[in-house]
Structure 1
Amino acid sequence: MTLDLSSIIKAYDVRGTVPDQLSPQVAEAIGAAFARVVVLPEAPAGARPRVVVGNDMRESGPELVEAFARGVTAAGADVVRIGLCSTDGLYFASGSRSVPGAMFTASHNPAEYNGIKLCRAGARPVGQETGLTAVRELAQTYLEQGLPAAAEEPGTLADEDLLAGYAAFLRGLVDLSGIRPLKVVVDAGNGMGGHTVPAVLGTGAGLPELPLEVVPLYFELDGSFPHHEANPLEPENLRDLQAAVVEHGADLGLAFDGDADRCFVVDENGRAVSPSAITALVGLREVLKEKEAGRGATVIHNLITSRAVPDLLEAAGARTVRTRVGHSFIKAQMAEHEAVFGGEHSAHYYFRDFFFADTGMLAAMHVLAALGSQDHPLSALAEMYEPYVASGEINSRVSDVAAARARVLEAYTAAYPGIDVDELDGVTVSHWDGHPQWWFNLRASNTEPLLRLNVEAADEDIMEKVRDDVLSLVREVAAPATETEQP
């Protein structure tokens, strides 16, 4: 029975278990489809159509890359394999060379998974509404009816290492040479941060030494993730980093996910700094840089980030744009508004100067620059950007998502006539202009019968009350939250 590709090709990327869902045959079909939907039609006149392809440390990566490349070259496009890289390393390759790209990674998913993140030339996103649906449909046809005949002039295959170029490019965006000496613990989670951190923050790419003492945790590339899942969004996966920061008396800690496109930050006390605070901190640096050059600045943030983000950035003179959750949405808004920076609650950070793409490493460098350019500890610096209290994202499994959402809306619109309700992404109910101040967002999962709740309020008591009241309505119980909450 032929696999239904809609089970692994979702809104933003390809993600499935190997080999039952994502097999070499499937990768070859996707490569052939990607070449015909994106690569060939968009190749500049007179230029060879070309794709850059990279992979993370998962054992299945090289075989899947080889199969994908067969599909692409048979269609008549060249493939440049850049080997082991982070996802933002692939974006650098695509952006700097203005060619489409494919990154083989399952990000933070368990070892049995792999996947593909596709982009157009210049690291522009390929999502459900920007070509991924067409790629899926054509690849499905190839699986069911067979691949088309090879082009009269098949593409070529070449190998290049772009790690040094990636490291030099990032070093050129943030100058860390003049900061005070810092000790930083980095947890790579056996993912690609173990490959990129020595090159960017060390001297592995032949760059000048920085005033940083890096204490490495789990830098060995191992797609079986022997120490913990490479998903720092889950609090238990930060435990080792938090303990190491305190043990070593470090100034901060950094944790990267499996493909190292997200970065999480821990202060000198081992406390996680929220991605919203990082969004505000980095966004403010970018806004002030534009202001010094006599230019205005726009910053994008998704609707789950703290209200502190627009509050602080608008006070500094920036224009802020609120968007749906999801990297393809925020990347589109980044390009449309020529935004200098964008941030998400999931620790994806986007930069105009990095092809409007997301890079955890560049965000980490901004944090190091901000901390190292003054004498206060990170806890004091972060406190400026975290004036409110958030619940983190709480998942509830419900039998009827629509009914649960309706219960919540009915209760709150009855209790607060005229309350602000919007449906940009799920439903956001806001009492921010009243007293006490609070808001919450309730979003349905795209793949499971889950409702995801995020609450923010002016203080802990208010947040806990709103959180527990909403959860009791969602779950039809009168009990407080018991599920794991994410930072």
Structure 2
Amino acid sequence: MKAVILAGGRGTRLHPFTRRMPKPLVPLLNKPVMEYSIELLKKHGISDIIVTLQYLGDKIVEYFGDGSRWGVNLTYVFEDLPLGTAGSVKNAESLLDEPFIVISGDALTDFDLIDGLVFHLQNRSIFTVFMKEVRNPAKFGIIKTGPDGKIMRFLEKPQKDQEFSRVVNTGIYIVDPVVLCLMEKNREYDFSKELFPKLIENNMALYGFKAKGYWKDIGSHEDYRQAQYDMLERKVQVSLEEEAQPKLWVSSHVRSFRGQSAYIKSSKSKSLVKAGS
């Protein structure tokens, strides 16, 4: 099974971090956020990964290379102009000949992807959306499903008086390649704004999978900060640096500064992260 990592966005809400750095390279506890997505895919036995690139894509290629350092094979597909979430996948259509996973290069999650795949196959779905309930759904797409999980209604970024659900689209999908035939090539196309309404209108097999685990879109400074607190507090199952003692993580490249150890203290989690010079 293959996966597509969407890594072409500009990440304007994370300025100034993303003025000279693509959003997938923004670090979470010393590792680019996209690295956690690669590790999650590898954990689930998915090693053939396509990465869609646009904004500062060369820097992503420079860091990850062919993926061999992580035990995966990375193939890069560039787009000259932004093609949107669905358009960028359509741009890689020639490499996709069986159901595949789409995951964001700028979100943090520990979802069980295999559970989602089993759900997808059991329901004979052509497009499965990983869903998660959140407190504030206003900045996401909200979803209503039937008893069998089939998506009946979807609304992107609702106003307060439009909210009919707190279950949202996480931007993680399992997709049958037949869906790509519904889109035109070389034009901007969005999954949630254009493809979902078309699938719902034509009563096609669009399903929502209620995923268990942690998920956070690293789309704002607040979410970026909170994700790192959550990592230190072990709310998300990801690999961290060595925990030298309870709530003290030491990076492998740490060096002492003039014979003294330097520490960064989290005021919220009261965790200590040892920092090098």
TM-score above 0.5, yes or no: no
Bigger radius of gyration among the two: 1
- TM-score, length-normalised on structure 2? 0.35
TM-score normalised according to structure 1 size: 0.23
The structure carrying a bigger strand percent of its residues is 2
